Every structure is written in C-alpha cells, then in structure tokens.
C-alpha cells in the first residue's frame, strides 16, 4: 500500500496544492483530506497516515494560529519539509451568477483578509461569511440550495467543484504566498543539504527583562541568522509569551547545535520542531559582522584548535 498523506481539506484547498508539490508522485487516493488543522495533526500522530501537510504562515496575515497551537503543545511531531505556494485568489460562482448578482460570499478568514481591498472596490455591500477553508466555501457554493452566491478560493477548488470564475486575482497583494509544512512522526531527520532551516519553540523565563534579547544572542554569537520570530501567548495569561523561531542551518551543524544547547540552558523549555531543506533553496549562510568566521569549516577548525590547546600544545 502506498504511503498516505493527510492534508487540510476539503479537496481543492491551497494545502492540497502544497501536498501535490511536496509529493508529486503520490496518487490521488493517497491524499487524505481532513477537516481542520487539528485533524491533520491527529492523523499523523495516530499513525493512520504517513505524514501531513498544513499551512504554517502567510505573508499577509502571519502565522496560522491552529498550526502553531498544535506544534507547540501535544505529542511532538517533526517538520521534515516545507514549500511556499503563491496565493492566487479567484472569485467563483455557480453558472449563471454574474458579479452584480453576488449578495452573500463565503471564504476563509485569511482569504477574506487578503481580498478586503478588492471587495471594497467591487462588492462593497456583499455579506461575507468565513468558513473553515476556501475549498469548503467553494463546496458550499456548489450546492444549488446554498445561501451563498460566491466563494473566494484557489483555482483547483473551482475546478474540483464545478464553479465558474467570476474574477481572477482578487487578492490585494499579488506577491502573497503561504508557507506549508510537511509533518512526520519522530524519526531520522532529513540529511543536511547546505541550505536548511531549523524550527523550534522557545519558552523564555519571564523573571527578568531582557530574556528575549538573551535568547536572540544565543543565535547571534554563533552567527546563526533567524528568518522568523513569532510571538505566541503561552495561554497562561496576558503578558506570557513563547517564541516560534526559524533559523538558517541544520541541527546537525555545529553552529546550530551549539546555539540550541545554549537555548536549552537559558530557557524554561525548548521544543525542537525539525531541520529540513529550505523551500527557496541555495546556500544561505551570511556571516554578520562580515569579518566573523562562522561557516561549518570555521567551526571544525576551532574544534581542532581547542583539542590541541586542551592537550597542552601551543594553539
């Protein structure tokens, strides 16, 4: 039986598009739509599938709260791959419905947020309802008895549910993109490629000011560049946060490993979420300040030097 993969459904979501990119050879029956991010995590944790895909962050709206919540708490899963999918929104309706006929529109809250400008200009009086996904919106609209006249959704959703496009590219920002992650159960990490990313959650101790700065310093002092820092309430009351962090590099590298050990020592808790190839690809190590020597080779050399020094030889 081929591997099976859960994703945030129903059929036709951007997440399904992401899964198709990440597992292009998987047959259609290997793709298992789930209703809700939580259900994808549950399917992977429970073993009914071999992996799962969920959205992690969007370039306009920021982190996806449900994904972050699941990554932070519950049984740990690993991120083993990522992919960025451009977000191109299409306004779909049933056959025969024109732009001027649209009174009630369904879509996902994030999509709604990203199409506000277009809607204000073209459908200023439309009543909007947010549902669990853009595909669910398309699915609902496809029902002839639906109270919705139109949906904003991904192109594949319109195709899947037999809707016709009323307007293309109704998003306010043409460069909008969503980053999706592939979830796996704990197991061997993807091998380092030289252009990797490491994700983790750091729970800072909150008993003194400056704790976040100290956390960042653990990365800076080893020349590890951060590509994302998202604060998130721990749920333990206003003013208590943890931080979801993406850093350049693979935990197998000395640079990243040392930084993580540093976090481990100064944080209340650290949850490692995975090391995996960067979606954008290409080598990314940027030393800062420019004079610092912080490549893997520099770390190796320093370790050999330390071994000599510890044995009493002149460095």
Measured from the CB atom, is 164 or 205 closer to a second copy?
A: 205
User: 189 to 208, contacts with a second copy by CB under 8 A?
Assistant: 189, 205, 207-208
- Contact call for residue 72 and a second copy (CB under 8 A): no
Q: Which stretch binds a second copy (CB under 8 A): 3-11, 96-104, 152-160, 306-314?
A: 306-314
Q: Residue 244 is inside which H or E element, if any? A: strand 241-248
Measured from the CB atom, is 166 or 198 closer to a second copy?
A: 198
Q: Residue 202 is inside which H or E element, if any? A: strand 196-203
CB of 128 to a second copy, least distance (A): 8
Exactly one of 11, 26, 30, 38 binds a second copy (CB under 8 A); which one? Answer: 38
Q: Which stretch binds a second copy (CB under 8 A): 17-25, 96-104, 155-163, 186-194?
A: 186-194
d(CA 276, CA 211): 28
Exactly one of 26, 30, 32, 60 binds a second copy (CB under 8 A); which one? Answer: 60
Residues touching a second copy, count (CB under 8 A) = 94
- Contact call for residue 21 and a second copy (CB under 8 A): no
Exactly one of 15, 225, 249, 283 binds a second copy (CB under 8 A); which one? Answer: 225
Name the one residue in this structure whose structure tokens are 């549950």: 42
Exactly one of 52, 160, 270, 277 binds a second copy (CB under 8 A); which one? Answer: 270
Q: Are 278 and 196 in contact (CB under 8 A)?
A: yes
Q: Which stretch binds a second copy (CB under 8 A): 46-54, 89-97, 158-166, 264-272?
A: 264-272
Measured from the CB atom, is 9 or 31 closer to a second copy?
A: 9
Exactly one of 13, 251, 276, 277 binds a second copy (CB under 8 A); which one? Answer: 251
Q: Residue 245 is inside which H or E element, if any? A: strand 241-248
Token pair listed for 180: 């999706």
The neighbour count for residue 242, using CB atoms within 10 Å, is 23
CB of 94 to a second copy, least distance (A): 19
d(CA 172, CA 150): 18
- Contact call for residue 226 and a second copy (CB under 8 A): yes
- Contact call for residue 149 and a second copy (CB under 8 A): no
Exactly one of 62, 121, 162, 281 binds a second copy (CB under 8 A); which one? Answer: 62
d(CA 94, CA 104): 13
37's CB contacts (< 8 A; 6+ apart) are 8, 54, 55, 64, 66, 67, 70
- Total length of the chain: 315
DSSP state of 187: -
Exactly one of 96, 124, 282, 315 binds a second copy (CB under 8 A); which one? Answer: 315
Measured from the CB atom, is 98 or 297 closer to a second copy?
A: 297
Measured from the CB atom, is 166 or 274 closer to a second copy?
A: 274
Measured from the CB atom, is 155 or 228 closer to a second copy?
A: 228
Q: Residue 276's beta-bridge partner residues?
A: 197
User: 120 to 139, contacts with a second copy by CB under 8 A?
Assistant: 129-132
SS3 263: helix
241's CB contacts (< 8 A; 6+ apart) are 204, 231, 232, 233, 234
Q: Which has the closest alpha carbon to 106: 142, 66, 148, 139?
A: 148
């Amino acid at each position: 039986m081929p591997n099976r993969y859960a994703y945030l459904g129903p059929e036709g979501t951007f997440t399904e598009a992401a899964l198709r990119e990440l597992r292009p050879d998987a047959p259609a029956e290997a793709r298992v739509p789930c209703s809700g991010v939580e259900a994808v995590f549950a399917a992977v944790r429970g073993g009914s599938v071999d992996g799962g895909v969920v959205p992690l962050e969007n370039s306009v709206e920021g982190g996806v709260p449900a994904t972050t919540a699941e990554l932070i708490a519950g049984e740990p899963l690993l991120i083993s791959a990522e992919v960025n999918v451009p977000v191109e929104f299409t306004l779909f309706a049933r056959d025969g419905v024109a732009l001027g006929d649209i009174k009630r529109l369904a879509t996902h809250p994030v999509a709604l947020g990203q199409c506000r400008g277009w809607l204000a200009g073209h459908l200023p009086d439309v009543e909007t309802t947010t549902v669990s996904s853009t595909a669910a919106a398309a699915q609902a609209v496809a029902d002839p008895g639906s109270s919705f006249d139109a949906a904003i959704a991904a192109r594949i959703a319109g195709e899947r549910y037999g809707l016709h496009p009323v307007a293309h590219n109704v998003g306010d920002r043409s460069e909008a993109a969503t980053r999706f992650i592939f979830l796996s159960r704990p197991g061997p990490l993807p091998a380092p490629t030289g252009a990797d990313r490491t994700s983790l959650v750091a729970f800072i101790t909150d008993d003194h000011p400056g704790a976040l700065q100290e956390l960042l310093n653990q990365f800076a002092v080893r020349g590890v560049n951060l590509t994302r820092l998202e604060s998130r309430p721990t749920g333990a009351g206003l003013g208590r946060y943890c931080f979801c962090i993406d850093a350049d590099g693979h935990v197998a590298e000395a640079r990243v490993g040392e930084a993580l050990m540093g976090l481990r020592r100064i944080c209340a808790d650290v949850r490692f979420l995975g090391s995996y190839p960067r979606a954008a690809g290409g080598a990314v190590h940027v030393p800062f300040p420019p004079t610092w020597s912080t490549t893997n080779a520099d770390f190796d050399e320093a370790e050999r030097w330390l071994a000599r020094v510890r044995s009493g030889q002149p460095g």
